Amino acid sequence: MDQPNVVLINCDDLGYGDLGCYGSKLNATPALDRMAAEGLRFDDFYMGSPVCSPSRGALLTGCYPPRIGFGDFDGLPVLFPGQGMGLPPSEITMGRLLSDAGYRTLMVGKWHCGDQPAFLPTNHGFDHYFGLPYSNDLGRQSGTPTAPDGEQPGYPPLPLLLDDEVLEQQPDQASLTARYVAEAVRFIRGERHRPFFLYLAHLYVHLPIYVQERFLRGASNGTYGAAVEAIDWTTEVLLHELATLGLDDTTLVVFTSDNGSLCRTGGSNSPLRGAKGTTWEGGMRVPCIARWPGRIGSGRMTAELATAMDLFPTFAALAGAELPGDRTIDGRDIGPLLFDDDAPSPHEAIFYYRMNDLEAVRVGRWKLHVAKGGTECRHLYDLHADRGESADVVHRHPDVVARLEAVADGARRSLGDARLGITGSDVRPVGRVADPSPLTTYDPSYPYYAAEYDLPDRG
Ligand code: MG
């Protein structure tokens, strides 16, 4: 089989309940609803972490965050500007994997796997990059806190990168999504005659949300809903482009989100419990839609367990690329789930890490919580009967608890558990550089579009 094109769309903090095809009555998402109707919608799809940097590192490498040193960043949950840590070049991203397999590769949007030159997308197999190297609330913004290093008040100006150079500082955030999709379309047109991999990582719906007037008009869910509709519009643009170029039958498009919603300002993880940053279902279970006309049957849904880490080996299989044999990869090829109605999940268990603490484990229908925020606990939920984790049945199923405890112990031995002082036997170090520096510094003479963003929202 010829190598298919791959388009991976990753949103920022989009919740499980934010799309029409996942039950939202607040946001209009006709393009994504159509994408689901034409393809496969995952009911039980998980990110590797409930926050940005570890989730993205896991997605890109096919590994649980602690496996690649991405559990925490010198005590911080995500990477900050100029921190000097990131995804080391020794890690193999899906960009590198597909590039080595002959793909042309572009990343557009939020990276958040390290902002020092060694860690940028262009050092991880992407031919080109256009986007923000970290979160859109890490620039100069109303109410900005002191940077973690304490050296300068607030964060440095938000950099917009073209490849590995700062193209603009403090760009107009409202127009970025339209610029992102234009760049994506330009790439698809230019590479339409050979296999390509596009990784589009939206800045929406991470706070603060700046959105163009065109989406605000008529949005029924305020600024948040307008941003969701902007995501939907970009999906329509990309799908239209693929159809126009005759690439529908040779392109796999996957849509997902890096973690659950904060559940403030209009976002929803309904019907799941919890929010971004937690190991309740709402933190890590996210929308995922896969579309490939002719290969993936239309209007399908699967409740089999799958994770973002599975995309790495799945894309490898589709591209005919060998998986690296010198390291553990946690993801599994979910091609069978994509193409076959009756395929079972390749996963015996899913592990919910918050930083380097194992907080929960899922096996089949059962989810056992073993810690929350550094404190030991025991709660058992039957996710088939109780997706909202509302009825703790830990005392009714001691046999299930014992079985899941044993599975959790296996994960701890391999991946570690900081809360219990366990170092994993099979973990690789985070990348570090000496003498890191932020990509920008504030210069009063620079013609900023906004020297300081006026919205104070962050998160
Ligand atoms: Mg996020």
Residues 6+ apart with CB under 8 A from 351: 64, 358, 360, 361, 408, 411, 415
| Nearest to 7, CA basis, from 82, 103, 132, 92 | 103
Q: Are residues 129 and 152 in the same domain?
A: yes
Q: Output the CA 259–ligand 1 centroid distance in Å.
A: 5
Q: Cα of 13 to ligand 1 centre, how many Å? A: 4
Judge if 93 and 174 occupy the same domain.
yes
User: Is 354 found in the same domain as 243?
Assistant: no
How many angstroms is it from 202 CA to the middle of ligand 1? 10
Per-residue model confidence (pLDDT) at position 148: 61
Number of structural domains (the chain) is 2
Q: Is the pLDDT of residue 145 over 80?
A: no
* CATH number of the domain bearing residue 106: 3.40.720.10
Q: Do residue 335 and residue 366 come from a single domain?
A: no
Catalytic status, residue 263: no
Which tens digits make up the pLDDT trace of 16-44?
A: 999 999 999 999 999 999 999 999 999 99
State the chain's mean pLDDT as an integer. 96
Is the pLDDT confidence value at 337 over 80?
yes
Same domain for 375 and 334, yes or no, is: no
Is 356 found in the same domain as 308? no
pLDDT at position 150 = 55
State which H helix or E strand residue 284 sits in. helix 281-284
pLDDT of residue 218: 82
Q: How far does the chain reach from its first CA to its final CA, in angstroms?
A: 43
As a whole-number percent, the residues of the chain with pLDDT over 90 amount to 95
Between the CA atoms of 51, 52, 55 and 60, what dihedral angle is there, to the nearest 10 degrees? 180
For position 44, what pLDDT does the model report? 98
For residue 447, is the peptide bond before it cis, meaning its omega torsion is within 30 degrees of 0?
no
> Ligand 1 mean position to 129 CA, how many Å?
19
Is residue 235 assigned to a domain?
A: yes
Question: pLDDT value at position 146?
Answer: 61
Please check the confidence at residue 152 and state whether its pLDDT lies above 80. no
Nearest alpha-carbon partner for 36 in 232, 221, 317:
232
What is the structure's pLDDT at 23? 98
Amino acid 149: pLDDT: 59
Q: Is the pLDDT of residue 336 over 60?
A: yes
Whether 140 and 279 map to the same domain: the answer is yes
Of 229, 164, 195, 268, which Cα lies nearest the Cα of 1? 195
Q: Which of 11, 63, 112, 124 is catalytic?
A: 112
Distance from residue 220's CA to the centre of ligand 1 (Å): 23
Beta-sheet pairing, 288-291 with 350-354: unpaired
What is the pLDDT confidence band of residue 1, given thresholds at 50, 70 and 90? low
Residues 55 and 175 in one domain: yes
* Residues 269-305 pLDDT 10s: 999 999 999 999 999 999 999 999 999 999 999 999 9
* Residue 229: Cβ within 10 Å count: 24
Domain's final residue, options 286, 319, 339? 339
User: Is 380 found in the same domain as 278?
Assistant: no
Query: Hey, what long-range contacts does 144-147 have (CB within 8 A, 24 or more apart)?
Result: 144/452, 147/80, 147/81, 147/82
Q: Are 136 and 158 in contact (CB under 8 A)?
A: yes
Residue among 52, 63, 263, 288 flagged as catalytic: 52
Residue 375 belongs to domain spanning: 350-426
Q: 117 pLDDT band (50/70/90 cuts)?
A: very high
- The first and second tokens of residue 445, run together, are 């003479």
Report CA(23)–ligand 1 centroid distance (Å). Answer: 21
pLDDT at 144: 72
Q: Which tokens belong to 101?
A: 């397999």
Residues 49-89 have pLDDT tens digits of 999 999 999 999 999 999 999 999 999 999 999 999 999 99
pLDDT tens digits, residue range 305-327? Answer: 999 999 999 999 999 999 999 99
Q: Which residues does residue 1 pair with via DSSP β-bridges, in sequence order?
A: none
C-alpha 295 to ligand 1 mean position (Å): 30
* Rg of the chain taking only CA atoms, in angstroms: 21
Whole-angstrom Cα distance, residue 272 to residue 278?
12
pLDDT tier, 248 (very low <50, low <70, confident <90, very high otherwise): very high
Same domain, 110 and 247: yes
pLDDT at 200: 99
pTM value is: 0.97
Half-sphere exposure of residue 23, counting CA atoms within 13 Å on the CB side?
Answer: 12
Catalytic residue at 112?
Answer: yes
Average pLDDT over residues 434-459: 95
Assess if residue 130 is contained within a domain: yes
Same domain as 374, residue 269: no
| Residue with token string 């997902």 | 256
Distances (CA, A) of 97 to 156, 194, 316: 33, 16, 7
